[in-house]
Amino acid sequence: MSAKLRIWLAYWGAWTLMGFYMTTMDMVMWPKEKIGHLVLLNLLQNLIWGVAGLGVLLLARRWPIERIAWREWRPLLLHLVASLLITLLGLIVVWLVAVGFSTPEYRAKALQTPLSSFRRFFSSYFHLNLVFMWAVLGAYHGLRMHQRLKAQQLEAAQLGARLAQAQNQALRMQLQPHFLFNTLNSISALIHSDPESADRMLSRLADLLRMTLESGADQFVTLRQELAFSQGYLAIERIRFHDRLQVDVDVPPECLEARVPPFLLQPLVENAIKHGVADLARASRIQVRARREGEALLLEVEDDGRGFEQGRRGIGTGNTVERLQLLYRDRQSFSLVSESGKGTLARIRLPFEAGPAMEATA
């Protein structure tokens, strides 16, 4: 509301100031005229040009110029023709007002030969006012671009924040005291009984920590990279829980190079471990699946754990939903289906895009 009001105040304020400025021009041209009369006339004229400018704005709002290019000549032509017509129309009104305001002798003369009177008026004012209309058009597009840029910046900042949050979360999970200390304890046991496995577990843990610390500000990684992370994590959990955890990963090769946001699967995998294995005394199974369905990439993480009550979801998935919305808007979907005692299925659908090097399609 206030932003809109400010824009309107600026619009009419600009026309008012311009009116005063043009008064000074008139004062130079007709030094004998009363200043008050000139001010009034100019303000009235600029009120008319302001209204004419509204016509320009209306058209610009409906058919904005997206870019200056020959291919997109339609809006350019439209605004050129429209600004000519609007200026002409405005000029006629302004001329009528000027005639109305002038001395009786002048008025009589102008009405006797209106065409030549208007032609004189036209030659002095048309070109200048046409430029004004273009200025209005330019100002509108400038403002529009500015707002768009601001919105984009805001969005980029939000996206960055989400990513940072996701990274943070992933880091916290590895450094989650339980995970970390229990893993170290397992390694401590393996050092004596099975040095090879101790080595393996230690290097998995190192991989995991390195991947989290190294992951830059990239908005996308390949599914292969994302899976490597989750599999590193699952490999450790499998050693820890031994016979209590079975992991199946089913990802066809064609999906491995697809782009996904980093740490997309991790919170889902961690939830599956948490509700599927860590809280249960019996053995459980976690399945990670990916497949391509036409233009969509489908990712699923399923556990056969104890499930959770509907309507309750962790911070991890809340963050996932927001990130997906920011990155893909309505071209994605996320669902979490859980049945108490039977397990949970998390399903993500997003556009299938190949390669991490490409820029995101907005």
Partner 1 sequence: MTLKALIVDDEPLARQRILQMLKGESDVAVVGEAGNGLEAVKLIEATSPDLVFLDVQMPELDGFGVVEAVGVERMPPTLFVTAFDQHAVKAFEVHAVDYLLKPFDRDRFRRALDWARAQQTTRQGGTLQSLVASRRSEQPHPDRILVKSGEGWVLLKTASIQWIEAEDNYVRLHVEGTSHLLRQTMTGILERLDPSRFKRIHRSAIVNLDFIKELQPWSGGDLLVIMRDGTRLTLSRTYRESFTEWH
Minimal distance in Å, beta carbon 191 to partner 1?
Answer: 9
H helix or E strand, kind and range, residue 357? none
Q: Which residues bind partner 1 (CB under 8 A)?
A: 177-178, 180-182, 184-190, 192-193, 239-244, 278-281
Minimal distance in Å, beta carbon 193 to partner 1?
Answer: 6
H helix or E strand, kind and range, residue 180? helix 177-193
Minimal distance in Å, beta carbon 231 to partner 1?
Answer: 20
> How far is the C-alpha of 170 from the C-alpha of 213, rounded, in Å?
10
Cβ distance to partner 1 smaller for residue 278 or 290: 278
Q: Please name every residue paired with 248 in a beta bridge, in sequence order, or none if there are none.
A: 287
Minimal distance in Å, beta carbon 182 to partner 1?
Answer: 5
Minimal distance in Å, beta carbon 178 to partner 1?
Answer: 5
> How far is the C-alpha of 66 from the C-alpha of 122, rounded, in Å?
32
H helix or E strand, kind and range, residue 57? helix 35-62
Q: Are 346 and 335 in contact (CB under 8 A)?
A: yes
> How far is the C-alpha of 255 from the C-alpha of 180, rounded, in Å?
31
Cβ distance to partner 1 smaller for residue 23 or 169: 169
Cβ distance to partner 1 smaller for residue 94 or 190: 190
Q: Are 345 and 290 in contact (CB under 8 A)?
A: no
Q: Are 231 and 248 in contact (CB under 8 A)?
A: no
Output phi, psi for 326, to 5 deg. Answer: -65, -40
Q: Please name every residue paired with 131 in a beta bridge, in sequence order, or none if there are none.
A: none
> How far is the C-alpha of 109 from the C-alpha of 215, rounded, in Å?
81
Cβ distance to partner 1 smaller for residue 152 or 185: 185
Minimal distance in Å, beta carbon 207 to partner 1?
Answer: 19
| Rg of the chain taking only CA atoms, in angstroms | 35
Minimal distance in Å, beta carbon 328 to partner 1?
Answer: 36
Minimal distance in Å, beta carbon 185 to partner 1?
Answer: 4
Helix, strand, coil % (nearest 5) of the chain? 70, 15, 20
Cβ distance to partner 1 smaller for residue 130 or 190: 190
CA 326 to chain centre: 7
Cβ distance to partner 1 smaller for residue 141 or 274: 274
Q: Which of 90, 81, 93, 98 is nearest to 129 (CA)?
A: 90
Minimal distance in Å, beta carbon 346 to partner 1?
Answer: 21
Cβ distance to partner 1 smaller for residue 185 or 335: 185
CA 293 to chain centre: 26
Cβ distance to partner 1 smaller for residue 196 or 243: 243
Output phi, psi for 5, to 5 deg. Answer: -60, -40
Cβ distance to partner 1 smaller for residue 261 or 305: 305
